[in-house]
Structure formats: structure tokens, C-alpha cells
Amino acid sequence: MDATAEVRAPVPGAVVRVPVTVGEAVRAGDTVVLLEVMKMEHPVRTPVAGIVEHVAVELGTSVGEGDLLVSVAPRGDDEREGEKEQVVDLDAPPRADLREVLERRRFLLDDSPARVGRVAARHAAGHRTVRENLEDLFDEASFEEWGGFVVAAQRSRRELSELIERTPADGMVAGIGRVAGRAVAVAGYDYLVLAGTQGARNHQKKDRLFDIVERLSTPLVLLAEGGGGRPGDTDMPSVAGLDTMAFALFARLSGLVPTVGVANGFCFAGNAALLGCCDVIIATEDASIGMGGPAMIEGGGLGVVEPEDIGPVSVQSPNGVVDLVASDDAEAVGLVKQYLSYFDPEPRPWTCADQRVLRHLVPERRTVVYDVRRVVDVLCDTGSVLELRRHHGVGIVTALARIEGRPIGLIANDPAHLGGAIDADAADKAARHVQLCDAFGIPLVSLCDTPGFMVGPEAERSAQVRRFSRMFVTAASISVPYVTVVLRKGYGLGAQAMAGGSFHASLLIVSWPTGEFGGMGLEGAVKLAWRRELDAVADPAERQALYDKLVASMYERGRALSMAMHFEIDDVIDPADTRRRIMNVLAIAPPAGRSPASKRRPLVEPF
């Protein structure tokens, strides 16, 4: 028989239970004393089986570490009895605390009894729910939601059970998941909860999310459908609520992480304000986007309007608010994924068209219009081009694309609009696209074919003096590689703007054989420079012949080969060699990070 085993206190505490008595048989591992330390119960167990010989403490006794609690006389052969591992039934029903959590989580799901009717109505209207969109957006089982158990701050006017059923997550699904393996954050308004309005609690969730996004530098997707601020939250004392930080925190992300917003259905007021801060806005065809909804408009004495008449896509796409138009939710989510893919640093597998096609896309006859988008599609990797703001500033094409699997930003003059002349809207559009690419380290390729900036009394009404200059000051501030390819016309200040401010501002400026150049339109240059000589010719036919001769000589002098001979451009190239020449330069340019820990530029302007 071994010596008596002494069971001593492992920590200081108070005795709250002594479940054994002298003479009682115990097994190894049985609790002999229960101590309370800092409101936590610590069971003290006997290391041996045997008979209790002595109990040294009573209920309520305070003990110190090492004090004797109980003595146990071992029982020899029975010493190891009771050391068998306790078997846990992993298939047993959840215990009460877990069951409560699981039951509450059901209210977040679209198949909860409180939501099924509203979900069916939403489907009937041609829309998916916010959670269906997120399921489509994120890689399987990768989304981690924060604040799902939050309810609307309306306990003083509604029963808690109703809030749990009717206001899950306070109408804002927030969290981080993976899209194509890369971390992406989301803030998604749930239109089935109080019309997707901005409640006090979901403002707090946004504040938390935006702060984490800033710290982690993850892209952010905003699903913005909803009616703006919610006046019915009564639990949190407030007068106007203008001290909410969500808008400032979200705006601070500009230029730090890619942000993309989606609007379907109605998107008004505060929801639209957040949407407007996004780098890119995607809207479904039936979206209405406005800084005030019907109630605000009527309350301001501006009449009664239908929500569908406030900022429809037919208005917001041509005016530049909407970058991409989708037919429905599914296409919108697909565009989100495509847009985010350009910020992934890993090259992608690629194919491209036979580059010899490029030799035939710009007609030899210099006055014949061609399709510049066809040039872009052939030049870039097959299926990689995502054009932004197609219906706004139509004189310039702005797009994200890939060459040899590497993301690039692209701007290109469209000769089908004003002969490629740059108007004020096109200048704003191009400058803002350059900002976007520079902010996230995406190299830029410019396809130049412009007779210059638009001129004329009517054109000046658009404040183009300031707006044209935006192209110069923006290009002067960038740090990403910039390559210019002149397809045909390279005239005046507009051509310089397309080349980053100067033909020697680009890392490389080359021209196709069809290139033609001049400090201004050559016909105007002849009339201006040779006015005296032309006026001196009395006969109209002779004057016209002299004019034609002078213009022809100017065109000969402004040919691409002549420009290259004077080293005003770097080279004249075979169009089929364009991809190789671009990639050769980008391969030796310093790499630029696409997910900066700090901002590359202060912001990407909203417009």
C-alpha cells in the first residue's frame, strides 16, 4: 500500500464545494474540492483512487497555493480505476448555449420563415438577395461575416423578437472573404431589411470594416442598394447624426485600395454618397441612383416624383456616374470579379490574335475612319479588355486589359467621334483613368490618334481650358510606366496630352507608318504661316494650287519617318510588333506594387 496521497490547492482561492466525505471511495480524476478564483471555478481532482482519510477544508474556507485540501489512502489494484478517457458523443444534439446561437443564425439566412416571402417577391422582381450575390462573389466557404447578430436600434419602439426576425444584421452584411483566392472585403446593404437604409448599428459596422480594410489593404466591394439614412432608430440618442464617421473613413480608402460599388434597384442619399466614392461603379439596367430619394425631393418642395425617374442608368451612364452597365445582378457580380482581377499581381494564362491583323486596321487613306476598339481587342490578350465609361466622354476609350497576362491601363482616341478630337468630357475621363492606374501600380498604354483639343466658341462653354489642363497635371504626377503608340494623327497639345505631356515624357513613344504629326492642324498651320504669300496670289485657282502644295509639303514633313529622323519620336514600327515593343519596355521598368501599404497618390478623384 502506497503512502497517503495529499491533494493540495494548485491556486489560491475560496472553497465553494466539497463533494467528498471521510471514508468515501474516490476514483482517480474525481473532483474532491471546487475552488473559486476571480469568479472562475477550478475543480481540484485526486490523482489516485482510494478512500478519503481526511478533509482539511470547509465550505467558505480561503486557501493559499499549496495548502492541504484532502488526504486519500490509495486502494492498490484499483488505483488506475477512473482514468479511462471520457467518451464524447459527437453526434449528440447541441447543448442549450450552442443551440441558441444556431437558432439565431437562422434568421440571417434567406430561407428563414421571416424572409421567405420577401425573398420570393425579390426574385419575382428580377433581383437576387444580397446573400445570394455574396455567395456568387466569394470563393466557396471563404466569407467571414462580422456583426450578423446586430439588429436595428429600435428596441424602444419594437419587440426584440420582431427586430431579430425582421432586421437581421441591421440590413448590412459586412465581412471579408476570398475572390479567386485573394482577400476582398464587402459591405452589402440588404434591401429586405428596412429598404436597405443606413441604420445606427450598420454605420458602426461600416466604421469597423473600413478601419480594418485600411489596416489590411484589401480591396472593398460595396453593394449599395438602399434608401439612405434611417430616421427611425431611436435607441441611440442623436439630433442629426452628422457625426457618423462612415463617409470620412470610406473616402480615406481612395487611392489606397481598389473600391468597386454596385447599384441595382434604388440607391439614394447616403447609399449613393458612398457609391460615388468608389473607383468604379457598376449598375444594373434598372438602377436609379440619386443624392435624394422621393421623400427628400417632396420634402424640399420640389414636387412628387417616382423613384424610377431619379437618376436612371439612361442618365447616369452617359454623364459618367456609372462606369459599367450590367443586365442583372449575376452579370454585375461577374463584372466585379473581372474588375478585381486587374489588381492581382500574378500573371494569367493568355492568348492573343494574330498581330499581323494590326497592319490592316488603320486605312492607308488618311481620311477614312476606323474602329479603334478593334485595334484594342487585337492588341490585347483575347477577352481581357474591360472598357470603363463607354457612354461618357466618348472621344476617348478608357479600359483595363492585359498584354501577355500582365494588367495594363489603356487610353485611346476614337476617330469615329469628332475625328478623335479631345473634348472636355473626354479629357476628364482620360485624366481620371490615369489616376486610377497610377494609384494601383498599373502601367499605362496610350494609343494616340487625335487632331488635338476641341476648339470653338461653343466648346469653350464647357470650361475646357481647366479640364484639358487636368490631363497635363495628372500625367506629370504619375510614377507608373507610360508608353505611347501613335496610330495616325498626333497634332498639337492634344497629342502631347495623350503622350503624358510631351513626346519625351513617355518611356517609349513609337508610331505606326500611318502616323502624321504637326504642332497644329496642318491646313490651319498653312493658312496661318503663309497668309501673306497666299494673299499675294490674286488668281483663286493659283492660290488654291499654292495652298495645296504647301499643305502637301507639310504632310510630307510631318510623316512618321520624318519625325523619327528628327528624333521627335523614338521609332516607327511594324504594327504587328506593337505588343513586343510595349512589353520590352514594361519588362525593364521598375515594378510597381498593386496593393500598397501606403498610398501611391492622395486619392483617385471620384469623377
For residue range 10-61, what is the model confidence (pLDDT) as tens digits?
Answer: 999 999 999 999 989 999 989 999 999 988 999 999 999 999 999 999 999 9
Q: Are residues 303 and 213 in the same domain?
A: yes
Q: Are residues 74 and 192 in the same domain?
A: no
Name which of 585, 430, 429, 418 is nearest 510 in CA terms.
Answer: 585
Q: Which residues contact 599 (CB under 8 A, 6 or more apart)?
A: 255, 256, 439
Q: Are residues 250 and 319 in the same domain?
A: yes
pLDDT at 385: 98
Q: Is residue 226 part of a domain?
A: yes
Q: Is residue 114 part of a domain?
A: yes
In angstroms, the Cα distances linking 583 to 359, 460, 578, 588 are 19, 39, 9, 9
Cell, residue 470: 487636368
Q: Is residue 254 part of a domain?
A: yes
Rounded Cα–Cα distance for residues 220 and 249 (Å): 13
Q: Pick out the chain residues at pLDDT < 50.
A: 1, 79-83, 593-597
Its pTM stands at 0.85
Q: Is residue 526 part of a domain?
A: yes
| Phi, psi dihedrals of residue 35, rounded to the nearest 5° | -105, 145
Q: Which residue has the cell 478517457?
A: 85
Q: Are residues 569 and 538 in the same domain?
A: no
Look at phi and psi of residue 141 and say left if phi exceeds 0, alpha if psi is from -120 to 50, else beta.
left
Q: Are residues 117 and 202 in the same domain?
A: yes
Q: Is residue 554 part of a domain?
A: yes
Q: Are residues 583 and 501 in the same domain?
A: yes
Query: CB neighbours (10 Å) of residue 552?
Result: 12
Range of the domain at 526: 520-558
Rounded Cα–Cα distance for residues 334 and 43 (Å): 56
In angstroms, the Cα distances linking 433 to 441, 522, 601, 607 are 12, 30, 13, 9
Q: Is residue 170 part of a domain?
A: yes
Cell, residue 217: 489593404
Helix (H) or strand (E) holding 354: none
pLDDT at 82: 46
- CATH number for the domain that contains residue 41: 2.40.50.100
Q: Are residues 310 and 178 in the same domain?
A: yes
Q: Is residue 407 part of a domain?
A: yes
pLDDT at 87: 80
Rounded Cα–Cα distance for residues 290 and 283 (Å): 13
pLDDT at 594: 45
b (16+ CB within 10 A) / e for 310-341 = bbbbeebbbebbbbbbbeebeebbebbbebbb
Rounded Cα–Cα distance for residues 429 and 411 (Å): 9
Return the DSSP state at 173: E
Q: Are residues 123 and 262 in the same domain?
A: yes
Q: Which residues contact 334 (CB under 8 A, 6 or more apart)?
A: 326
User: CB pairs under 8 A, 24+ apart, for 34-41?
Assistant: 35/9, 35/11, 35/63, 37/11, 37/12, 37/13, 41/16
Rounded Cα–Cα distance for residues 374 and 300 (Å): 48
Q: Is residue 596 part of a domain?
A: no
pLDDT at 86: 62
Q: Are residues 43 and 63 in the same domain?
A: yes
Number of domains in the chain: 4
Rounded Cα–Cα distance for residues 583 and 343 (Å): 18
Q: Which residues pair with 263 in a beta bridge?
A: 283
Q: Are residues 374 and 490 in the same domain?
A: yes
Q: Are residues 103 and 68 in the same domain?
A: no
- CATH number for the domain that contains residue 441: 3.90.226.10
Query: CB neighbours (10 Å) of residue 3?
Result: 7
Q: Which residues pair with 72 in a beta bridge?
A: 5, 52
pLDDT at 183: 96
pLDDT at 525: 59
Return the DSSP state at 114: T
Last residue of a domain, one of 315, 341, 367: 341
Cell, residue 100: 441558441
Rounded Cα–Cα distance for residues 513 and 450 (Å): 16
Q: Are residues 440 and 542 in the same domain?
A: no
Would you say 560 and 511 are in contact if contact means Cβ atoms under 8 Å apart? yes
Cell, residue 213: 480594410
pLDDT at 595: 42
Q: Which residue has the cell 489616376?
A: 435
Determine the Cα angle at 431 with ends 430 and 432, to 5°: 95
Q: Assign 605 to helix, strand or coil.
A: coil
